[in-house]
Amino acid sequence: MAGEISTPTPSPSPTPTAASTPTPSARPSPVSGCVVDPSETNGPYPADGTNTSRGLTSNALTASNVVRSDIRSSFIGTSNAAAPGVQVTLTLTVLNVNASCAPLAGYAVYLWHCDREGRYSLYDLPNESYLRGVGVTDSNGQVVFTTIFPGCYAGRWPHIHFEVFSSLTNATSGRYAVLVGQLAMPASVCTEVYNGDSGYSSSIRNFSGVALSSDNVFADNSAA
């Protein structure tokens, strides 16, 4: 098992204007060489100021150092602990499907996911803030994150959450995302990681009990 997995994943975006979270669309379709990503729920652990857990509202987007490429360590409060796990380099490309798939520069992408044991920082682990961060797209519409491969917890296919904002300023509010989605991890890579690193032992059992066809987010996937 290699220590680093390079996982390029295109994540196209709608027109470059701030707006409320769009209505979910389960059937993406190819448009001029790129694909319209369907909107998905941001789930119960976004830490973007939009929900409450244990009576507290967490908003990692307001932290002064939330813009970072390497999201493996905590960055809020006194902890700087790093989440252990198999390293992943993730490249996202944000494109405008209404303008011949032109790259969208200056867009902010908020990325977050669980650790290798299926726990979320600022919720299951209220004193940690790792595996969360914001990147700003370059002239090619790309943003790169260094993180770990997420674990698999009971009832969900392994995934990574993201929100796309038309600017970094809009990102700090947590309420003007032009796209909210989730990335499904490739099955073959999940099997390799979970069986190749002892820290993912609980994921082996959980992964054997889930399927894309029954996942409450990915079950309506189309061929696109």
Tokens 């009576």 — which residue? Answer: 55
Q: Give the separation between CA 5 and CA 32, rounded to whole angstroms.
A: 29
Q: Does 214 fall in a domain?
A: no
Q: Does 217 fall in a domain?
A: no
The average pLDDT across 28-36 equals 61
Quote the pTM value.
Answer: 0.85
Q: Does 64 fall in a domain?
A: yes
What pLDDT digit, counting tens, does each position of 130-145 carry?
A: 999 999 999 999 999 9
What pLDDT does residue 167 have? 96
CATH number where 143 lies: 2.60.130.10
What pLDDT does residue 224 have? 65
Counting the structural domains of the chain, the total is 1
Q: Does 110 fall in a domain?
A: yes
Q: Does 182 fall in a domain?
A: yes
What pLDDT digit, counting tens, does each position of 180-222 carry?
A: 999 999 999 999 999 999 999 999 999 999 999 999 999 998 7
Cα dihedral 39, 29, 8, 204, rounded to 10, equals: 60
Residues spanned by the domain of 124: 4-208
Q: Give the separation between CA 162 and CA 160, rounded to whole angstroms.
A: 7
